[in-house]
Amino acid sequence: MIEGEKRIKLEVLFEDNHLIAINKHCGDIVQGDKTGDSTIGDEVKIYLKERYHKPGNVFLGVTHRLDRPTSGVLLFARTSKSLARMNERFRDDGEIKKTYWAVVDNKPEFPSATLEHWLVRNEKQNKSFAYLKEQKEAKRASLTYHYIASSDRFHLLEIELHTGRHHQIRAQLAAIGIHIKGDLKYGFPRSNKDGGIHLHARTINFIHPVTLEQVSIKASVPNDPVWQYFEKLPNQR
């Protein structure tokens, strides 16, 4: 971390000797990029070093990623054994269940549906494009969405990922004419003030790589009027 740089405030959701999960804020980056900004991983290492008075370097493995403008549950491994086992589970579709909340502009035609697309990633644009038929160098993408509620202007969807692809939720929803609030890259007309988008990794459920117990982690939504409206509705998950 650069001296004098503002530190990221951590919200720890789960922690043991093998794993640690935090609630990522919009704008935090998971791994270093061309901006040179400090990463959430750097901050977690500092937290672990200070909390446990660890000398030398602290091991921290990235098990999965969230886009910079996305918030929610982010899971790290604290040992190489846990990292290897979690990476294997993330590669196997269905081993780890992740749900997201998305605030969108258009109510879907059906209250629940599974979307199947072929995604092609454009590296220069840092954007993925969804097609109904297989394309060259495309990867299959699958998700199921459920309509939850509406406000006067927006709609809340809960999304379960069946595959983990670059910008998958953003690209697949855009392909059916649904745009996430604040997501200029995928068709929403206006940005959010904080530069983030209303896509939130709500829960993650998995079998612990060492104890073999079921782990369920949920992240509260950002402190934002639209998010707070939906989270406070009765019978929310």
SS3 readout for 117-149? EEEEEECCCCEEEEECCCCCCCEEEEEEEEEEE
Report yes or no on 237 lying in a domain: no
Q: How confident is the model at residue 4 (pLDDT cuts 50, 70, 90)?
A: very low
In the predicted structure, residue 34 carries a pLDDT above the cut 60 = yes
Q: How confident is the model at residue 12 (pLDDT cuts 50, 70, 90)?
A: very high
Residues 6+ apart with CB under 8 A from 205: 96, 97, 98, 214, 215, 216, 217
Report yes or no on 4 lying in a domain: no
In the predicted structure, residue 32 carries a pLDDT above the cut 90 = no
Encode pLDDT of 95-146 as tens digits.
Answer: 899 999 999 999 999 999 999 999 999 999 999 999 999 999 999 999 999 9
Longest distance between any two alpha carbons in the chain, whole Å: 56
Report yes or no on 1 lying in a domain: no
Q: How confident is the model at residue 91 (pLDDT cuts 50, 70, 90)?
A: confident
Q: Which residues of 54-89 are buried (b: 16+ CB within 10 A; e: fewer)?
A: eeeeeebbbbbebbbbbbbbbbbbbbeebbebbeee
In the predicted structure, residue 79 carries a pLDDT above the cut 50 = yes
CATH code for position 16: 3.30.2350.10
Domain of 205, in residue numbers: 12-231
Q: CA nearest 110: which of 145, 152, 162?
A: 145
Report yes or no on 5 lying in a domain: no
Confidence (pLDDT) at 6 = 56
Report yes or no on 6 lying in a domain: no
Report yes or no on 191 lying in a domain: yes
Q: How many domains does one find in the chain?
A: 1
Confidence (pLDDT) at 108 = 97
Average pLDDT over residues 25-34: 82
Report yes or no on 146 lying in a domain: yes
- Ranges 49-58, 60-69, 198-207, most confident: 198-207
